Amino acid sequence: MSNPLPVPDKNGVLFLPLGGCGQFGANFTLYGYDGSWIAVDCGMAFADEKLPGVDVILPDPSLIAEQRDKLKGLFITHAHEDHIGAVAWLWPRLKCPIYATPFTAALLRRKFEEHVYKGEQPRITIVDPRKPIKLGDWAVTYIPVAHSIPEGNALSIETPAGRIVHTGDWCIDEAPILGVNTDAADFRALGDAGVMAYVGDSTNADVRTKHSTEAAVEEGLYEVFKSAPRKIAITMFASNVGRIISIYRAARKCGRQVALVGRSLDTMVECARETGYIDDSMRFLNGHDAADLPDQKVVLILTGSQGEARAALSRVSRAMHPAVKLKPDDLVIFSSRTIPGNEAEINDIKNSLLQMGVKIVTDRDACVHVSGHPVRADVAQMIDWLRPVSAIPVHGERTQMEAHAGLAREKQVKNVHVPVNGEMLRITKDGLEPVRHFALHFSAIDFGKMVAADSVPILERRKMSFNGAVFVSLAVDRQDGGILDLQVSAMGLLDPENANDAQRLADLEDAVADKFESMSKGERVSEDAAIEAIRGAVRRYFRDLADIKPLVSVHISLV
């Protein structure tokens, strides 16, 4: 590697985000001290329109893979996909011990079952909250926090150089359905002991309105349920086990049964039962069972709150789900927030539902969702508790991270730095020192396999999606180099049923034929030379026609 990761020394703690800064998701952070590293979280992110056909991207483990013998462990704060979704894919390049709470471990084991590893197998150590995990110079302590999934935790990371508090995802919820509220005493105690740096969740740092509680959401759901005359469908993050329980209780109060529709919901409930968060008395139907019930007796929980094309909600909105059909005056509740970048897909689903005559309820209409992330007032409270020497906002786009940084400065934090992915900082008791910047190369999950996000197939699909594609096929006489047959198509560019486009297509064929026939016989029967010449002719044609650069594929058969 031309720019390798330095081996950490004793002069402070090295901090290096490999994902999660300037974006939502793909959270993956390294900390280094005196010859060793630890990693915190290893998640996925949703892909955007720049990567057509790709749903998920993964952070780049290349830097730490070069020093995996120095990687003491991967510490998982909680089980959301943006924090664990890349673990099973990237573990073969890390091969380090994994530390997690019971619910997170249960989900990780299921992910590992979908992969086959040669030789060494992943090993998960179950952690006890508030009990330090000591690995050489490192002492990592899990601090329970409220969040929209069981067993959310902040981390107190202590070395001889000082203490860092990495908050993970958290919020202040005075009435959580599951787990605990974020305990002020825990963080005041850390502040009293001295916090060298606070590395904090920025997701809602620009939100000035104080959010409600999960208990209030349960009541809000009940109010919506009791007045709905027909079938109710509700979409949410599958990982929000507390919300599943709230939906179940609100539905039962209204005399309705609850069905789970989507594999990830089934998995979450299985893990919640395994770890004691859902007891056996709480029974769920599947979509096929629910179809046999009267409409007014069912609540369906559907996956796909972020507009995922293959999830249940999207398929229902396109009338393509085998078990769930919605009719006019049925109700769909969006019990979730929109992750930036997913707006278009979610709006498409809403438009399709409205066209079907389905009614839609969001958190703008009723108390049906609350975020599991800290709003501005919560962030201010955390800073007051910790009183850190330095603050490093993470987990968010630049807008949220800058809002977080501005608040930290208002709270008189001495040193504040907004990092970008690949930017290494040295954290000391005196402040923050930039070290260097590393170029990162994210990966994508494409047709079930991990590839570089800038791999040729993805780049070609992107080019086709914006500029179209031209396919040229020639049959050439091997003896004299003459054209026996010529076929040209211009996908996404010219419509052969349109008279003007048909003429342009004919002109393009003439340009290809003229270019080929202007070549020497030796060039015409040399496939490589002919292909490059024809590709150039096609590109010139479309440059002159519309100043675009389509993908050009040329195939020549010598017969």
3-class DSSP string for 293-347:
CCHHHEEEEECCCCCCCCCHHHHHHCCCCCCCCCCCCCEEEECCCCCCCCHHHHH
Q: How far apart are CA 277 and CA 300, in angstroms?
A: 20
In tens, the pLDDT along 468-515 reads 889 999 999 888 888 999 999 998 888 888 999 899 999 999 999 999
- At residue 53 the predicted structure's pLDDT band, cuts being 50, 70 and 90, is low
- Which distant-in-sequence residues (6+ apart) come within 8 Å of 68 by Cβ? 93, 94, 95, 96
Q: Where are the domains of the chain?
A: 13-209+371-452, 214-361, 468-558
Q: Report the pLDDT averaged over residues 264-268.
A: 96
Q: Are 94 and 71 in contact (CB under 8 A)?
A: yes
Q: How far apart are CA 164 and CA 162, in angstroms?
A: 7
Q: What is the edge-to-edge ordering of all strands in the sheet holding 423-428? A: 124-126, 98-100, 71-75, 36-40, 28-33, 13-19, 423-428, 431-437
In tens, the pLDDT along 56-100 reads 889 999 999 999 999 999 999 999 999 999 999 999 999 999 999
Q: Report the pLDDT averaged over residues 410-423.
A: 98
Angle at CA of residue 308, ends 302 and 312, nearest 5°: 30
Whole-number pLDDT of residue 181: 93
User: For the whole model, what pTM was predicted?
Assistant: 0.86
Q: Do domains 13-209+371-452 and 468-558 have the same CATH topology?
A: no
Q: Are 225 and 251 in contact (CB under 8 A)?
A: yes
Q: Identify the CATH class of 214-361.
A: alpha beta
Burial class (CB in 10 A: 0-12, 13-18, 19+), 281: exposed
In tens, the pLDDT along 357-392 reads 999 999 999 999 999 999 999 999 999 999 999 999
- At residue 463 the predicted structure's pLDDT band, cuts being 50, 70 and 90, is confident
Tokens of 556: 């020549």
Q: What is the edge-to-edge ordering of all strands in the sheet holding 45-46? A: 45-46, 56-58, 443-446, 449-452
**Helix 214-226 with 241-253: angle, nearest 10 deg:** 40
- Is pLDDT above 50 for 294? yes
Q: Identify the CATH class of 13-209+371-452.
A: alpha beta
- Which distant-in-sequence residues (6+ apart) come within 8 Å of 329 by Cβ? 229, 230, 357, 358, 359
Q: What is the CATH number of domain 468-558?
A: 3.10.20.580
Query: In the beta sheet, which residues pair with residue 32?
Result: 14, 37
3-state secondary structure of 380: helix
